[in-house]
Amino acid sequence: MNSRILDRLKHAERQMILRLEEIRASFKHAGNKGANVEEVVRSFLREYLPPIHTVGQGEVIDSIGNESRQLDVVITNDAHPPINGSQGVGLFFIEGVSCAAEVKTILDGKELESALRNASQFKRLKPDMTLPTQTVSTDSDYPRFVERRPYFLLAFESKLKNETLAQRVREWCSLNAKEIPDQIDAIFTLDGGSIFNLGDGDGFFHGVGVVSGNRSKGFVRIEPEQDQPLLNMLCWMNLCMHKINYQVNPISRYMGSIDWMKF
């Protein structure tokens, strides 16, 4: 990569880290306990994602009765009406969700396994693709990011080295017979580097891990000295969060079936 471009990217990453620390410090100063870390990340994403997206937290459902656990980060698109307000825990329908994530202050083996189970539960949600829609995707990405939606894990600190982390994810997916569309899509640790799930290697994000012209597949890790986790996270999100144009608003599938007054 051109050294000038690389220098600018490194500068952008430093600015992001500084902004994240500023947001984190402001929450500590305000004496906000409990969900501080999650709200820090949500506030950060609100600043850096395109305005088409809103960022909240809560549960996601589909029209056939599947539901997620409560999610730290839910990123919606313009198909989702503003029914949740700007604060508190909301209820979201999967067609209006562009991406979801879990946030950890410290990531260890137990927390990793929990995050992988939560990712798999979220990936069971099925958008109603019988609605007339328009989108642009590859054959590789469509079942992962359109028929399902991307899901990632962000940790401020990891007790597991990046190599160990990637290996444990591979082993868990193999042991639990998780096919590519049902697997976690990425893991970002601010002190340990990034791990991308490249699937079969033919998706939009195939440039990561290319060696001697051969595309990598599966879970590919980037070491901290070569990595810019926050910048990579935002670039990855913008590639994976597909723009899906619905000709009929998907909320019509849910009207009358949910007591929205409970949320």
Per-residue pLDDT at 24 exceeds 80: no
DSSP one-letter code for 67: B
* Confidence at residue 17, expressed as pLDDT on a 0 to 100 scale: 81
Task: For residue 129, tell me if it sits in a domain.
Answer: yes
C-alpha to C-alpha distance for 239 and 197, rounded to whole angstroms: 13
Task: For residue 145, tell me if it sits in a domain.
Answer: yes
Query: Tell me: the pLDDT tens digits for 183-234?
Result: 999 999 988 889 999 999 888 876 555 444 567 889 998 866 677 888 889 9
Per-residue pLDDT at 30 exceeds 60: no
Confidence class of residue 104 from pLDDT cuts 50, 70 and 90? very high
Task: For residue 110, tell me if it sits in a domain.
Answer: yes
Q: Which residues constitute the domain of residue 203?
A: 3-257
Average pLDDT score, the chain: 85
Do 241 and 53 form a contact (C-beta atoms < 8 A)?
yes
C-alpha to C-alpha distance for 1 and 48, rounded to whole angstroms: 24
Query: Tell me: the pLDDT tens digits for 45-96?
Result: 998 899 889 999 999 999 898 999 999 999 999 888 777 655 667 899 999 9
Task: For residue 263, tell me if it sits in a domain.
Answer: no
Residue 216 φ/ψ, nearest 5 degrees: -80, 160
Alpha-carbon distances of 60 from 65, 73, 81, 100, 253, rounded to whole Å: 10, 11, 14, 9, 14
Do 199 and 218 form a contact (C-beta atoms < 8 A)?
yes
* Confidence at residue 123, expressed as pLDDT on a 0 to 100 scale: 97
C-alpha to C-alpha distance for 204 and 94, rounded to whole angstroms: 22
Do 232 and 194 form a contact (C-beta atoms < 8 A)?
yes
Residue 197 φ/ψ, nearest 5 degrees: -90, 105
What's the number of domains the chain is made of? 1
**263 or 240: which carries more pLDDT confidence?**
240
CB neighbourhood size of 28 (10 A): 12
CB neighbourhood size of 249 (10 A): 14
Confidence class of residue 150 from pLDDT cuts 50, 70 and 90? very high
Task: For residue 181, tell me if it sits in a domain.
Answer: yes
* Confidence at residue 212, expressed as pLDDT on a 0 to 100 scale: 43
Least confident range from 128-132, 138-142, 204-208, 226-230: namely: 204-208
C-alpha to C-alpha distance for 228 and 222, rounded to whole angstroms: 9
Task: For residue 242, tell me if it sits in a domain.
Answer: yes
0.95 exceeded by the pTM?
no
* Confidence at residue 5, expressed as pLDDT on a 0 to 100 scale: 61
Contacts of 221 (CB under 8 A, 6+ apart): 162, 163, 165, 166, 193, 194, 195
* Confidence at residue 259, expressed as pLDDT on a 0 to 100 scale: 54
Task: For residue 262, tell me if it sits in a domain.
Answer: no
Angle separating helix axes 162-175 and 109-122, nearest 10 degrees: 50
CA angle 167, 44, 168 (to 5 degrees): 5
Confidence class of residue 3 from pLDDT cuts 50, 70 and 90? low
* Confidence at residue 23, expressed as pLDDT on a 0 to 100 scale: 80
DSSP string, 149-199: --EEEEEEEESS-HHHHHHHHHHHHHHTT--GGGS--EEEETTTEEEEE-T
* Confidence at residue 189, expressed as pLDDT on a 0 to 100 scale: 92
Residue 136 token pair: 């642009």
Task: For residue 226, tell me if it sits in a domain.
Answer: yes
* Confidence at residue 260, expressed as pLDDT on a 0 to 100 scale: 46
Give the rounded percent of residues in the chain with a pLDDT score beyond 70.
83
